[in-house]
Amino acid sequence: MRFQARHLHMPNCLFGDKEPHPSAHPRFRQLRQFHPYDASRVLGNPHILFIFPDEYREMANRVYHSLRSGRRQFPGLKPLFGISIEKDSVTRVPSFSLPADPDGCAPAYEGAIMQYLTRGDKPDFAVVLCEKSPRTEVASTYYCAKALLASHGIPSQIITVDLLSNDQRFEWALADIALQMFVKLRGQPWAVVPSPGGGDVVIGVGRSERTDPRTGQVARIVGFTTCHTAEGVFRAVDVFVPKGNWSDYLSGLQGSVETALARAVAHARVPLRLVLHVTKRFSRDEAEHLEAALKSVSRDQIQYTVLRLVDEHPFAILDLNHETMAPLSGLCVDLDPRNHLLVLQGRPQQGNMYRPIPSPLWVTLQRASTANVDMDPLVQQIYDLAVANWRGFGAKARPITTHYAGEIARILSAALAKRNGMELVEQIASKPAIREVPWFI
């Protein structure tokens, strides 16, 4: 059996000069030279709250001075992003110590945060120093602190003690920490040059479910959408909280898509094309509510396409003409007109391959408003959006629509696991202050 394969166009990035630059070049160097794409909404002197136990005081001082004055190649927050971090704009939570029982760490942090917030002094941003925990441990300090702060409309940056204990790793990570702070303070470090024929508005759809341990049935569903432009610029995240049944979830999905489209119309013209990225099968019921959302926003017919993006599958792509057998980034294999495999992070054009052979992304056309869908520009758009990942200058190439959805799901799962979980999630959903901020990064 033979399949057709081709290499997609390498995406180009846009920075402050609004000129295209090859995405294969180091983005940290490009950003320093050409400046951020858009820093017009960033607070120049934000009020920053530091959250750490007394045992980490020395580390907190090191973080503060490193962000303010820079270290090695990192010049500091102000030279790189225009953000001042001065003593008079920095505070910390009331003094507290780490408990002897590790299970008490998250409650200790939460208690210190709430004690500070009850004073009525709300910061613009929070920096949290805590122990590293597995990504699957939803009850960790990392997720609990992030969810609690988000419920009060405060974006946060988590820095682990594991990272701070290794001076060399911390120096390398400083630029990524500053980048994440910049985007959570409403900055846009770079965008991508959009490929024609993709979508004017791209929405990622996800949900987080809580299962009843006694019955094994889904007890709660929390849905969310992330909205992006074709340039990969983050617009908003909308969290909706159904009462627990599928019908409520569908209504919440419809309302969330309506909100995202209405916001897109406010920013520009009525979009002619809407692309949805999902990680689970998109049902007929979901499609009906999607079409109802489109009709409610615009009288003009808006074309839509739903694509399913999956990381876990039985497929592998090997390049037998190369000693590493790793394919180049941007290789696309057409399995059939509806199914495609896309290598997002293959071997570099130059240099050696230092990571395992990457698994391709499986892209499937689930639904569309038209019978004939040209998948080529849609797959190219996925490749473009993988370059728009603002989690780090060398972040793993994954489409931001589904990659960000995974981060949101983990944070909401941590919130749902708590006794007041639904109240916490409802507070996150109701906070307009963080709706247009990628607080989950």
DSSP 119-182: TT---SEEEEEE----TT-TTSHHHHHHHHHHHTT--EEEEEHHHHTSHHHHHHHHHHHHHHHH
Q: Tell me the C-alpha distance between 153 and 237, whole Å.
A: 13
Render pLDDT for 323-340 as a digit per residue (tens, 0 to 9).
888 888 899 999 999 999
35 residue type, one letter:
H
pLDDT in tens, 190-201: 999 988 877 788
């057709």: which residue's tokens?
4
pLDDT at 2 (0 to 100): 79
What pLDDT score was predicted for residue 220? 59
For the segment 60-65, the average pLDDT, to the nearest whole number, is 95
pLDDT score, position 299: 65
pLDDT of residue 75: 94
DSSP state of 66: H
The answer to whether residues 380 and 9 touch, using CB atoms and an 8 Å cutoff, is: yes
Residue 289 CA to residue 424 CA, distance in Å, equals 27
Read off the pLDDT of residues 10-30 as tens digits, 9 standing for 90 and up: 999 999 999 999 988 889 999
Q: Does the pLDDT at position 149 exceed 90?
A: yes
Task: State the pTM of this model.
Answer: 0.89
Whether the pLDDT of residue 357 is over 80: the answer is no
Question: Which pLDDT score, from 0 to 100, does residue 347 have?
Answer: 80
Tokens encoding 175: 């630029």
Q: How confident is the model at residue 135 (pLDDT cuts 50, 70, 90)?
A: low
Indicate if the pLDDT at residue 111 is higher than 90: yes
What is the average per-residue pLDDT within 89-114?
A: 92
CB 117 within 8 A of CB 111: no
Structural Rg of the chain based on CA atoms: 22
Give the N- to C-terminal CA distance of the chain in Å, as an integer: 42
Strands 303-310 and 273-278 turn out to be: parallel
Tokens representing residue 341 in the block: 């495999």
Angle 284-297/246-267 helices, nearest 10 degrees?
A: 40
- Kindly report the average pLDDT of the chain as a whole number: 87
- Segment 243-256, tens digit of pLDDT: 567 888 888 889 88
* Residue 270: per-residue pLDDT: 56
- Give the bridge partners for 420, in sequence order: none
Q: For residue range 410-441, what is the model confidence (pLDDT) as tens digits?
A: 888 777 777 777 788 888 888 888 888 999 98
- Return the bridge partners of 188, or none: 38
Q: What is the largest CA-CA distance in the chain?
A: 68
Among 74-78, 162-166, 185-189, 353-357, whose mean pLDDT is lowest?
A: 353-357
- pLDDT classification of 77: cutoffs 50, 70, 90: very high
Which CATH code, of 3.10.20.30, 1.10.260.40, 3.40.50.720, 3.30.420.10, is assigned to 192-416? 3.30.420.10
Q: Is pLDDT at 136 greater than 60 in this prediction?
A: no
Q: Which CATH superfamily is domain 39-187 in?
A: Response regulator (3.40.50.2300)
Q: For residue 268, is pLDDT > 70?
A: no
Res 249: pLDDT? 83
CB 93 within 8 A of CB 130: no
pLDDT at 130: 92
For residue 243, the model assigns a pLDDT of 59
pLDDT tier at 178 (50, 70, 90 boundaries)? Answer: very high
Rounded to an integer, the average pLDDT of 28-38 is 95
pLDDT over 80 at 214, yes or no = no
Average pLDDT of the residues in 30-50: 94
pLDDT (0 to 100) of residue 339 = 95
Decide if pLDDT at 181 tops 80: yes
Q: Band the pLDDT of 353: cuts 50, 70, 90.
A: low
Res 242: pLDDT: 61
Determine contact, residues 190/21, Cβ cutoff 8 Å.
no
For the chain, the structural domain boundaries read: 39-187, 192-416
Query: What pLDDT does 210 receive?
Result: 61
User: 345 falls in which pLDDT band (50, 70, 90)?
Assistant: confident
pLDDT of residue 49 exceeding 80: yes
